[in-house]
Structure 1
Amino acid sequence: MNRREQLLQVAEQDIQLDTADYTRLQTLMHELHQALLAHHCPQIDALNNDIATLLTNLSGRAQRRSKILSAFGLGSGGQAMNQFFQQYAATRRGTIRQQWEQLGQLTSQCKFLNERNGKLLAMHNDILTQLLDNQRDAQLYSPQFF
């Protein structure tokens, strides 16, 4: 197997691994939302650790994909990937494109779930801030016994 074929194989495997990891990330984001709603701190910490591990793996493969694109003399982004897919045999090209599109959909769904979880965290923060401000105001106007 020559270097070109190796790079194509690595890129294909990375897309498959990314798809599996984004599917797992989607599940973790749903679980995190439930844990946030329940204020279950140990579960939130565990989920955040799992998410961080997945993101590290995804980031590493994205960097490798970028290097592979460079090795083929391509830039980055959607157009470069379309050009990259032309490197595959016609029999594989359709499958790889389909996997890439599925990966894009999973990425979008995870982004949405992350934003939803972020909004929930912001809402929790607002509520806590209001509660703490109310407690401080209550102490300010309460009778003081010297």
Structure 2
Amino acid sequence: MNAQQAMLSLAQGIQLDVADYDRLHGLLEQQFAAALRHDVARLPQLAEDIGALCVVLDARRTERVTLVNAIVGMEVPEAQRVAAVFARLPERYRTAAETLWQSLQARVLACKALNLRNGNLLMDQYEVMQRVLGGESDTYAPR
């Protein structure tokens, strides 16, 4: 694969990730709503859908890292590699690529925040159920 093909593949992967992170955002919102409703029938399917989508996203991330490394090489510091790839583009493409990349980064951060929120809610619900079903560990302990 030459540099031009690698750049094209990189751009296509980023576009696919933007769409899939939008899909993940929706699934995470559905998961939160299902957790609030205690919809035990819906939660396992959502978890499966989220997990499957995350596998796809991680595979694309791995491919993206490989492509970026192939385009700019390992001598460029890791934190600067994507910017170095974009710097090789003509100006008319660079701006669009940078905008797309920023859009992807924003979606990743949004999904991370939703995932954290959902995880906290589910853990809190689990703790409440443990207390309701099992009681406090020292409720009936002798003093």
* Within-5 A mapping of 1:72-87: 72=71, 73-74=73-74, 77-87=78-88
Which structure 2 residues correspond to residues 105-124 of structure 1 after superposition, within 5 A?
A: 105-124=106-125
* SS in structure 2 at match of 1:88: coil
1:62-101 deviation digits (Å, cap 9, x = unpaired): 1011111221204575411111111222211100100100
Q: Does 1:18 align with 2:17?
A: yes
Q: Which residue of 2 aligns with 1:60?
A: 59
Q: Which is further off, 72-81 or 59-68? A: 72-81
Q: Identity across aligned pairs (percent)?
A: 29
Measured in 2, the distance between the counterparts of 1:25 and 1:9 equals 24
Q: Which runs of 4+ in 1 moved over 3 A?
A: 74-78, 135-138
CA RMSD in angstroms comes to 2.1
Does the CA contact (< 8 Å) of 1:66 and 1:76 recur in 2?
no
Whole-Å Cα distance in 1 between the matches of residues 25 and 13 of structure 2?
A: 18
In structure 2, the residue matched to 1:5 is 4
TM-score normalised per structure 1: 0.86
- Distance, in Å, in 2 between the alignment partners of 1:70 and 1:98 is 21
Whether the 8 Å contact between 1:69 and 1:76 is mirrored in structure 2 is no
Report the count of equivalent residues: 139
Whole-Å separation in 2 of the counterparts to 1:136 and 1:86:
60
**Higher mean Cα deviation, 128-137 or 117-126?**
128-137
Larger radius of gyration between Structure 1 and Structure 2: 1
Relative distance call for 1:121 and 1:30 in structure 2 (3 A) is same
Q: For 2:69 and 2:33, how far apart are their aligned partners in 1? A: 41
